[in-house]
Amino acid sequence: MDEEGIRCRKGSSDQGTADGLPAKKSKSMNLQKEVGLISGICVIVGTVIGSGIFISPKSVLANVGAIGPCLVIWAACGILSMLGALCFAELGTMITKSGGEYPYLMEAFGPIPAYLFSWSAFIVTKPSSFAIICLSFAKYASAPFYPGCDPPVAVVKCLAAAAILIITTVNSLSVKLASYLQNFFTAAKMVIVVIIIISGLVLLAKGNTQNLQNSFDGPPLSVGAISLAFYNGLWAYDGWNQLNYITEELKNPYRNLPLAIIIGIPLVTVCYTLINLSYFTVMTSTELLQSPAVAVTFGDRILYPASWVVPLFVAFSTIGSANGTCFTAGRLIFVAGREGHMLKVLSYISVKRLTPAPAIILYGAIAIIYIIPGDIETLINYFSFAAWIFYGLTVLGLIVMRFTRKDLKRPIRVPIIIPIIVTLISVVLVLAPIITAPELPYLYCTLFILSGLIFYVLFVHFKFSWAQKISRPLTTQLQMLLEVVPPEGVTE
């Protein structure tokens, strides 16, 4: 059964009924516009507020050494994320294609930078992000069953793998179901966020400010330490660009994309700053650094005997973030396959479900591999290093296209100073840790990104025939197994 056979079978079921009644109009074989403004805000808030705010406070504080600079870093990360998101709002309304940075790099610099982005995102940044979030979910979900000690590593990893399998299955089956789950988990995570913030504000009102006195007294700060603190803070904000990965599925993207960004990112920034402030009303900087799970420690001290609420809702928060990450990242692989930069079958859409099932399934499979090492802090540092290389390059592309693509319609046009600032900060974030504290893994990360050129030359530029001979029967078998076909056309 080839793709035409599958199409014909699908078409014959939609032509009419035995009684001659008109059948329900079939949808085109494309991704459908089923994400509205509220769901868009939930994708941003639900993806950003995940595991980061419950993991990164320790890492940010460890790098800057004092409470005052720590709070400043959190607020600054929010401002930088907002500036970056505004740049992506212009790009997303100018080039209304899914795939996040990929179509923007393709338009600004051509296929090679776009391929290197899809290569590194497909193999490293996206699945490692998915794995980090699911490992965090597993730690918090299993914590209540192992009071007074860390859960066994095997339990955490098996639970994380189960979470990846469930989320991948849901996103492969239905866009609407994944969207509804995202809305539910976003509402659930806002419950724990509000609980932590109100508890902290009440304690501040009662005069619990002793931990905030002399808050800027600490060791001298270096550029490298500040950059690493930003890496960990920005990891917690990662997801500010996620709506750009599903632009083709947004209802009225010219309105809903910028509105969701303008509402979602400031909301997250305020929540993050207040959550960290709340942590410090209960814990000293030393206690926070020694806490195995910051939010759980906060709950044990403030909400006892109802402290079980914290790990439950943190688990909701992390699983919601993982769902949002899977929902958006699958579209990057889908778009790269559509452009011929990945196996063509990865750009195929389920006949029954109208989801990019092959791309999502492969993404989940790679993420499961990343839970094996399980070193969250190391993964975060190298994830952030690679991610900000391409964030900076994408925003630089916005500046370049102001001069090279003046013909493109720009419903939103941000002041040119904003992309310049974001580009310069990206350069500092990428170079500072290498200059101040050079480590070989940064070199390995860079070499891995550049190694994508080998695959580009062999399989995209020259298109070796033997590779086509191998992939063609594989594509046919996967089509029959998953009942997928190529999209009918690119949704503009």
- Asked if 429 contacts 227 with a C-beta cutoff of 8 angstroms, the reply is yes
Task: Give mean pLDDT, residues 457-470.
Answer: 75
- Residue-wise pLDDT tens digits, 10-62: 444 444 444 444 444 455 555 566 677 888 888 888 778 876 777 668 888 98
- Asked if 426 contacts 91 with a C-beta cutoff of 8 angstroms, the reply is no
The residue count for the chain = 492
- Asked if 248 contacts 96 with a C-beta cutoff of 8 angstroms, the reply is yes
Q: 10 Å Cβ neighbour count for 438? A: 10
Rounded Cα–Cα distance for residues 350 and 29 (Å): 9
Rounded Cα–Cα distance for residues 197 and 204 (Å): 11
Q: What whole-number percentage of the chain has pLDDT above 90?
A: 21
- 304 burial level (CB within 10 Å; 0-12, 13-18, 19+): exposed
Rounded Cα–Cα distance for residues 198 and 288 (Å): 19
Q: 10 Å Cβ neighbour count for 20? A: 6
Q: 10 Å Cβ neighbour count for 332? A: 28
Both tokens of 413, joined, read: 């046009």
| Range name among 165-179, 198-212, 235-249, 367-381 with the lowest pLDDT average | 367-381
What was the pLDDT predicted at 416?
94
CA dihedral 86, 452, 431, 378 (to 10 degrees): 90
Checking if the pLDDT of 254 tops 50, the result is yes
- Asked if 124 contacts 383 with a C-beta cutoff of 8 angstroms, the reply is yes
Task: Give mean pLDDT, residues 71-88.
Answer: 92
Task: Give mean pLDDT, residues 288-315.
Answer: 82
Judge if pTM exceeds 0.85: no
- Residue-wise pLDDT tens digits, 181-227: 888 888 888 888 898 999 999 999 998 888 888 888 888 888 878 88
pLDDT band at 256 (very low <50, low <70, confident <90, very high): confident
DSSP class of 145: G
| 3-state SS class at 409 | coil
- Asked if 170 contacts 181 with a C-beta cutoff of 8 angstroms, the reply is yes
Contacts 24+ apart (CB under 8 A), 100-104: 100/241, 100/242, 100/244, 100/245, 100/328, 100/331, 100/332, 101/241, 101/244, 101/390, 101/391, 101/393, 101/394, 102/332, 102/335, 102/336, 102/339, 103/335, 104/394, 104/397, 104/398
Both tokens of 91, joined, read: 């790009």
DSSP class of 487: -
Task: Give mean pLDDT, residues 77-103.
Answer: 89
Question: How open is the CA angle 187-191-197, to the nearest 5 degrees?
Answer: 135
Residues 6+ positions from 349 with CB-CB distance below 8 Å: 29, 30, 31, 355, 356, 357, 484, 485, 486, 487
Rounded Cα–Cα distance for residues 347 and 337 (Å): 5
